[in-house]
Structure 1
Amino acid sequence: MIKYNREGDLLFSCAKDHTPNLWYSDSGERIGTYVGHSGAVWACDVSYHSERLLTAAADATVKLWDVQTGEQLFSFPHTGPARSVSFATGDRRFVSVADKFSDRPAAVFVYELANDAAEQRAEPVLTITDHGHEGRITGAYWTPLNKAIMTTGGDGSIKLFDPATGELLESHQVHSGEITNVAFNKSKTLAITSSKDNTAKLLDVETMKVLKVYETDRPVNSAAISPIKEHVVLGGGQEAMSVTTTSGRVGKFEARFFHMVFQEEFGRVKGHFGPINTIAFHPNGKSYASGAEDGYVRLHHFDNDYLKLDVKK
């Protein structure tokens, strides 16, 4: 997974090599690493002021880090491999997901974050095990103003829960395959979901209504909404286990650009030699980053032709 901070000068990456990295987003120079996990790191999130980093890993922990020093501030033990993590607005809480492990079910957890790491408690303030997802929970996110916790599942559904009580508020069947990721626009009024059913869908966050559908011929692992144009970008490819790394064309590993409103594809960017697992626009919209199964994060700066592009029907 890759994650820009709010200003866009920093890019965080986490992968199957146990060590999250921090990079300068303009040059790609590595600033440092966060050493402490003993399993693949599936997800990360950074606080509003880029002071703290959360990482979720297969070693069944979520860890809290000091962004600047790389110091591990706290480790939150989970009931199984930690799949997803997300700061609440205000950075006083976070939500995380643990996979099913042994006789312990897949679960969603909410934790309070103390201002002082010395006073931090390891116990969650809310645990949701009766979530209704068939199979695993693939992600958990906060809706605007922390009104609800939004979860995505391997069953293609999205569910909304009350963050105080854990009560199920709404359930929506959005995809016919596993939802791999959700990304929001800047105001969190729109969300784009990516799925193994070969589509990405644009949703109204308030109503969870599907507004647009972007269709491809391969599983979509990640998608993002441009902050400056009516564009979305999709990344994916064949399942990692069924491809070789000899040809980027055969496996169809390009990033694909669609017009957000007209749903038409207008461009592709090659480069990776494995399925794209994660993709994100820079907050200024003038570049984007992608991370793939080939172990590389690629930074792409748009040229003037793209920045001047004005697609009209």
Structure 2
Amino acid sequence: MKQFEYGKPMLRQGDTGDWIGTFLGHKGAVWGATLNKDATKAATAAADFTAKVWDAVTGDELFTLAHKHIVKSVDFTEDSSHLLTAGQDKLLRIYDLHKPEADPEQIGGHTSAIKKALWYNNDRQIISAADDKTVRLWDRASMTEIKTLNFNLSVSSMEYIPEGDTLLITYGRTIALYNSSSLELIKSFEAPASIHSASLHPEKDCIVAGGDDFKLYKYDYSSGEELESYKGHFGPVHCVRFSPDGELYASGSEDGTLRLWQTAVGKTYGLWKCVLPEELVSENSDSIYNTSAEIKA
């Protein structure tokens, strides 16, 4: 699990939230962070016009990749040999991490800042979302655009779930699911407020989302019915993500906290211990939360 405060990306244990380490080196706000497949390397994107690659075990900085503007997104290939970056300068860059000093390959086409860029379809393609109200699919070999999805608002987030053949996109108050092969719309839901981020449960049981109204929403995947909504944060929610096993999800907010939530409340897991009513001492007990855990930056 990744967390970052101003200029200081943090690594935490996913099921407990325990702090593992902090990567020191950026001189500006960190906009994006990711781990490679086996969690041995980390990459970060920052407002200091750099992307950095780190040893996720020791915390050592491995490479600094200079850019000409703010970097918003970083993503490793499956084999960790290349890093994809994108940001304010509207370009996609592909760095060969075996030759980090070499000039990156570049792909242009977006007309506004790129918010998110991901390797796609077993690294044979790239998908990117930008402030120009488009999501674009690119062929890796020819470096050309294959398909464009147009929206009436800027896309706020994008999550690719290759195992489920699903692409989840949010814009405005809309949460939309697309078939990742055809990029055809499967279904969409409307939330009560502008949504900044959404995540699909690994088994497609439900979708969680958060946005401007400080709330988290949970929707049934099949029907789109709102299952529940709750307010735990004291600022807009900018990122939500399910854990790989679907047992919990994390939410990050402008209030300076990262919160962990149980998908099935009351189940013994990580920070959470199932406590019978008669075992509760008082509402002010020091026992671990049953529903959520707060992690401050």
Q: TM-score, normalised by structure 1?
A: 0.81
Which residue of 1 is the match for residue 222 of structure 2? 261
Which residue of 2 is the match for residue 295 of structure 1? 256
> Could you list the runs of 5+ residues in structure 1 that have no partner in the other structure?
1-10, 101-105, 238-251, 308-313
Query: Which aligned segments of 4 or more residues in structure 1 are displaced greater than 6 angstroms?
Result: none
Q: 1:229 Cα deviation (Å)?
A: 4.2
Amino acid at match of 2:101: R
Which residue of 1 is the match for residue 126 of structure 2? 149
Q: Confirm whether residue 211 of structure 1 aligns to residue 186 of structure 2.
A: yes
Which residue of 2 is the match for residue 30 of structure 1? 19
**In structure 2, how many angstroms separate the alpha carbons of the residues matched to 1:110 and 1:223?**
26
Q: Confirm whether residue 181 of structure 1 aligns to residue 157 of structure 2.
A: yes
Structure 1, residues 256-310: CA drift from partner, whole Å, max 9, x if none?
A: 0111121111111321000100110011111111000111000112345799xxx
Contact kept? 1:259, 1:265, Cα under 8 Å: yes
**In structure 1, how many angstroms separate the alpha carbons of the residues matched to 2:224 and 2:129?**
23
Q: Confirm whether residue 280 of structure 1 aligns to residue 241 of structure 2.
A: yes
- How many residue pairs get aligned? The number is 268
**In structure 2, how many angstroms separate the alpha carbons of the residues matched to 1:303 and 1:181?**
25
Contact kept? 1:184, 1:225, Cα under 8 Å: no
Q: 1:13 aligns with which of 3, 10, 25?
A: 3
Per mean C-alpha deviation after superposition, the further-off stretch among 20-29 and 39-48 is 20-29
**In structure 1, how many angstroms separate the alpha carbons of the residues matched to 2:149 and 2:203?**
29
Q: 1:144 Cα deviation (Å)?
A: 1.8
Contact kept? 2:121, 2:162, Cα under 8 Å: no
User: 1:69/1:53 Cα in 2 relative to 1: closer, same or farther (>3 Å)?
Assistant: same
**In structure 1, how many angstroms separate the alpha carbons of the residues matched to 2:267 and 2:180?**
28
**In structure 1, how many angstroms separate the alpha carbons of the residues matched to 2:223 and 2:60?**
46
Amino acid at match of 1:127: Q
For the aligned residues, what is the CA RMSD?
1.8
Contact kept? 1:60, 1:77, Cα under 8 Å: yes
Greater Rg by CA: 2
Which residue of 1 is the match for residue 42 of structure 2? 53
Per mean C-alpha deviation after superposition, the further-off stretch among 149-158 and 272-281 is 149-158
Q: Within 5 Å, which residues of 2 pair with 1:1-313?
A: 11-15=1-5, 17-100=6-89, 106-114=90-98, 120-124=100-104, 126-129=105-108, 131=109, 133-173=110-150, 175-185=151-161, 187=163, 189-195=165-171, 197-237=172-212, 252-304=213-265
User: 1:305/1:68 Cα in 2 relative to 1: closer, same or farther (>3 Å)?
Assistant: closer
> Could you list the runs of 5+ residues in structure 2 that have no partner in the other structure?
269-297
Contact kept? 2:65, 2:100, Cα under 8 Å: no
Tell me, what secondary structure is at the counterpart of 1:300? strand
Contact kept? 2:165, 2:179, Cα under 8 Å: yes
**In structure 2, how many angstroms separate the alpha carbons of the residues matched to 1:25 and 1:212?**
30
Q: 1:122 Cα deviation (Å)?
A: 4.4
Which residue of 2 is the match for residue 246 of structure 1? none
Contact kept? 2:196, 2:211, Cα under 8 Å: yes
Instruction: Write 1 or 2 for the structure with the bigger share of strand.
Output: 2
Higher relative contact order (CA 8 A, sep 6+): 1
Q: 1:136 Cα deviation (Å)?
A: 1.7
Q: TM-score, normalised by structure 2?
A: 0.86
Tell me, what secondary structure is at the counterpart of 1:73? strand
Tell me, what secondary structure is at the counterpart of 2:245? coil
Tell me, what secondary structure is at the counterpart of 2:122? helix
Q: 1:166 Cα deviation (Å)?
A: 1.7
Structure 1, residues 52-76: CA drift from partner, whole Å, max 9, x if none?
A: 0010101110100000111000000
Contact kept? 1:144, 1:188, Cα under 8 Å: no
